[in-house]
Structure 1
Amino acid sequence: MSSRDASGFGGTKGPSVQAIQAPLEVALVEPEIPPNTGNVARTCAAVHVPLHLVEPLGFRLTDRYLKRAGLDYWPYVNVTVHRSLQHFLRHMEGRRLLFFSKKASLDYDAFVYMPGDCLVFGSETQGLPAWLLEAHADRALRIPMDSAHVRSLNLATAVGIALFEARRQIKGQLAPSRPQAALSL
């Protein structure tokens, strides 16, 4: 595992990143399109969620389109770059990984998310490997679409949908229960 910081990109630069332990993490396996990754990073910065990038990447981390899509939020994204999918899986051993794919059969909004989950997404053109989805069919999730004319959702859109559903559920789990008011007579 290596945390990379190229030209002010990523790493653990902002104090807010280090101070907050995120109940979720996001991983992109072999992302290919710089603006998609930049937009995902921006979303991760907005909600203090660490981002894992699994090589090979379809761009350089210093790519201007990647940095532009993330605007000036890169210092607030905790980015870890892994040299391969196998390396990432070893690094995340013991963690619950949730694999998102249009080929999965479980709907993302019917799944129960837990603090510590890592939401894993494949590349824009290949998705996640079939062997990985088959090995973890009980944690392979899909975002259903109503149109047969659309092959898939944009990667950044899919991450946003799944991440905010997981956050919504976890927030409900972590919310303190309000004491019931006693009725006095």
Structure 2
Amino acid sequence: MSPTTSSQILARKRRRGIIEKRRRDRINNSLSELRRLVPSAFEKQGSAKLEKAEILQMTVDHLKMLHTAGGKGYFDAHALAMDYRSLGFRECLAEVARYLSIIEGLDASDPLRVRLVSHLNNYASQREAASGAHAGLGHIPWGTVFGHHPHIAHPLLLPQNGHGNAGTTASPTEPHHQGRLGSAHP
């Protein structure tokens, strides 16, 4: 074999490898999206890693269930969008609580943490109540995928030592210790 021919073969093999990697990445990205979109797959997301076949089977089962339901509540796009919005807000709220605890070092009874988390929890509950997203006909509230009712605070958001005042609401006129958060990260 001439050097030119072998280099062409190697180049072709590299291109095939790149193309195959892109194809696998697209498949994996689509499976990740399905895992996020299908309620039963999303519910199991926190436990063990789902196999690709399991994700596909759950997707098929979910689509069959939607087809059988005939659109009664399951295709209410507004209600589903509000559920996703609510779930996203609650996830952000949990991340804020985690950040305040782990990065800023605020314990659960710290007044700033209590006021901020309480305010965000109250806001989320008011938005959920106002939207009526959980009063749909037969659709599953997305907050329940975490094993708790969407109007109940995530465990990360609750006082851990019992000294916190989770019932306190933040007032727009109260000081919020702005320097404290800013001091940890210049």
Q: Which has the higher contact order (CA 8 A, sep 6+)?
A: 1
More helix by share: 2
Q: TM-score, structure 2 length as denominator?
A: 0.23
Bigger radius of gyration: 2
Q: TM-score, structure 1 length as denominator?
A: 0.23
